[in-house]
Amino acid sequence: MPALWIAHVTVTDEEAYGRYAALAGPAIAEHGGTFIARGGRYVQLEGKERPRNVVAKFPSVEAAETCYHSPEYQEALSHARDASERELLIVETSE
């Protein structure tokens, strides 16, 4: 079943986070991920507000998790760790 990779992010260093984004997009695509939402308009109803919200669709939970642990994504993530506060989760869809 398909899965969604959902990230809620507060960027604290735009330049470094830009390096993350430049590397993360190709790594996500390489593992079958396609972006559904990237930092668009949102309404916070509950929980901690994060101004950047990203949703990518993957063929499966396993594909999304493999992407996260891949050397390419980990390289990208090295730029985001000190440049953002974030939560990331993978959830299987019903389709």
Angle formed at CA 53 by CA 51 and CA 57, multiple of 5 degrees: 175
The DSSP bridge partners found for residue 91 are 4
**11 — pLDDT class (breaks 50, 70, 90):** very high
> In this predicted model, what pLDDT tens digit does every residue of 40-82 receive, in sequence order?
899 999 999 999 999 999 999 999 999 999 999 999 999 999 9
Angle between helix 71-80 and helix 61-69 axes, rounded to 10 deg? 70
- Class for the domain spanning 3-92: alpha beta
Angle formed at CA 77 by CA 75 and CA 78, multiple of 5 degrees: 65
Of residues 93, 63, 78, 92, the one with CA closest to residue 16? 78
What pLDDT shows up at residue 78? Answer: 96
Query: Is 11:52 a contact under the CB 8 Å cutoff?
Result: yes
Of residues 84, 59, 68, the one with CA closest to residue 4? 59
Report residue 43 as tokens: 């309404």
> In this predicted model, what pLDDT tens digit does every residue of 18-33 receive, in sequence order?
999 999 999 999 999 9
